[in-house]
Structure 1
Amino acid sequence: MHKSYQSILPTHNKLLQKRWDNTYYDEHRRKVRTAAPMVDTKAPPTYMHLHLKLKKLQLEEERLATIERDNRILLEKMSYIMRTRGRVDNRNMYEYKSLNKEKRQRELLRVTKENQAILQRITLRQPEYSAKRWADIWDEEQKFIDNISHYPKDWWTMKERSKSKLESRSQKKRSESRENEESIDEERTELKEQTKQEPKQEQKKDAKDEEKSELKEKKTQKKEEPKKSESPTKQSESPTKSNEDSKVAE
């Protein structure tokens, strides 16, 4: 390792030069670590009497002591009052009496009487102008204005009324058309259902007709069978009769 060391100063032995350089460097680092600063950068000293504030603590303790003493005295007084009903009668049995009550009542009665008198005078007073006559005159003037005017009365509202009527009619027509369409749709659905049910009914009818025809054929066969059975008996009876007749002739 010492062979690859590059020394700053010229030397004959690289190993010794490396050791000397390392010792110099370590000594330099030690001096740097132990160097004393020229400026005092330490924190200022703390004084306990500035932080504790003993006077404030003393005042707080005295205040708490006075409060505690007052509370104890009050508690003793309350307990004494609870044990013995006290020496002072503090019940307030005095009724409030107003010295100005009658005067205020008289003033109130006077004001009410005056108000009633004023109200009576106002209600009994006949008007100098007739409101009915004014209304009749106004109606006549309105008739004259309607006769003279070019457009009818409330012409601006007639458009709105006509519009509302047209809208109501259109709504009625729309509702009727919708009802008609719904009825047509219902009829179509009913027809479709009937058309679906008709082949089934026809098949049932055909089956019933076939059953009826089979029953009729069976009945006719049953009726024909006894007739066939009776015909040979008649034939057998006929030769017997012929024999009897021949015997009688003899």
Structure 2
Amino acid sequence: MGTTSKHTHTHTHTLVRPQSCSMHRSYQPLNPVTNRYLQQRWDQNHYQNHRKKVNSSLPVVDNKGMKTPAHIQLKLKKLQLQDERLSVVDRDNRLLASKLADIVCSKGLVDHQNQYHLRSLNADRRREELLLIGRQNQAIYQRITSRQSEHRRPLWLDDWERAERRRDDISRYPRGLGEKHRSSRKVKFAVEGERASSCTDTERDETKQTKDVHFHLI
């Protein structure tokens, strides 16, 4: 019993290492070591420290460019010319504003009213063209109205009458019978509708009279 309990105790405390813990076995150090895992950690720390030093190191040779002189950065001559140009523009604007104010305040000495009527230089020519077009249209209208028709209408009427007679001869029943039948049906339906409406009106009157009599009795 004691041996079995000891065996179960050791079996329950066994740990399963993850797969990542065995990755250090594939690491190949430069020198022979007793523990590859520790050597891998140390090499990684050394490499990270080296990269930090490389990133934070300063160059021995100064490869920066020369600083631009202050007189080139400011460009004092350009600023001076710009100020002079702006001052000239402001002076001209003030002069123009004063002149406009004088013109607005004064009534003016020159009569600037324009009484010229618009007149076209080719009005006569266009009028003649319109008259010519009107005469041409009138002539075309006269030719159209005086033209005799080329269609032989009497012959068409004769052909139509001949065709109607043939249809009457060929037809089994007299023509127009279907139309008469349809018209009689329409009249019949209209009469029946009027009768139905009259019956409904009489029924309404009778019901109204009975209601009035019942009301008087009450």
Structure number with greater CO (CA < 8 Å, separation at least 6) is: 2
Which protein has the larger Cα radius of gyration, Structure 1 or Structure 2? Answer: 1
Q: What TM-score range do you get, normalising by the shorter chain?
A: 0.3 to 0.5
Q: TM-score by structure 1 length?
A: 0.39
More helix by proportion, 1 or 2? 1
Q: TM-score by structure 2 length?
A: 0.44
